[in-house]
Amino acid sequence: MVRFAQRDDLERVNELRRQVNDTHVHGRPDIFKPGFCREMEELVYGMWQDEDKNIIVAERDGVICGMACVEYVTKPESPYNLERKIYHINEFCVDRAFRRQGVGTELFAFARKDAREKGYSRMELDVWEFNEEAVKFYEEVGFHMFRRFLECEVEG
């Protein structure tokens, strides 16, 4: 079952967010701080209350096994860009114990339906290059690259 999160779900959502943070810390320890501090825990409560954001959860046998934190974004027209409405997925996680069981695909199907119902024509997310498993999954559910961020060391 996939649904919008209730307040009672947020502690478990934070456990999943902690898995995401651990993946980032492991993949880029030069950028991400280890641990999952109180400020990071509190962010989910702000997201849950924000009318421009939502949290989606997937449940199996009463256990929340996946989540997506989404944001409803409207970027105004500028001299460079047309106005754009974007259904942005800020955070996404399927618990390690539930991967490759269709949970992530179900989360994206729910998100697509939500986006369509709210009048969004595109969904966006970003993913770190080191997270090859996530990149592969996102491509499997229909995402493709449209922009890249590059980096280089100043020395060397």
Look at residue 150 in the predicted model and tell me its pLDDT.
86
Which run of H or E residues covers position 64? strand 63-75
- Identity at 128, one-letter amino acid code: W
DSSP states along 71-124 = EEEEEPP-SS---EEEEEEEEEEE-GGGTTTTHHHHHHHHHHHHHHHTT---EE
Look at residue 29 in the predicted model and tell me its pLDDT.
96
37-51 pLDDT, tens digit each: 999 999 999 999 999
80-125 pLDDT, tens digit each: 999 999 999 999 999 999 999 999 999 999 999 999 999 998 999 9
DSSP label of 33: P
Q: What is the pTM of this model?
A: 0.92
2-14 pLDDT, tens digit each: 999 999 999 999 9
Over residues 45-58, the mean pLDDT reads 96
Compute CA distances 84 → 77, 81, 87, 121, 127, whole Å.
Answer: 7, 8, 10, 9, 21
DSSP label of 65: E
Taking the CA atoms of residue 120, residue 3, residue 89 and residue 118 in that order, the dihedral angle to the nearest 10 degrees is 10
Over residues 134-143, the mean pLDDT reads 93
Strands across the sheet containing 2-4? 2-4, 53-60, 63-75, 84-94, 123-125
Look at residue 72 in the predicted model and tell me its pLDDT.
96
Ordered domains of the chain (ranges, CATH):
2-140 (3.40.630.30)
Look at residue 11 in the predicted model and tell me its pLDDT.
96
Look at residue 78 in the predicted model and tell me its pLDDT.
96
CA distance 133 to 123: 20
CA distance 37 to 92: 19
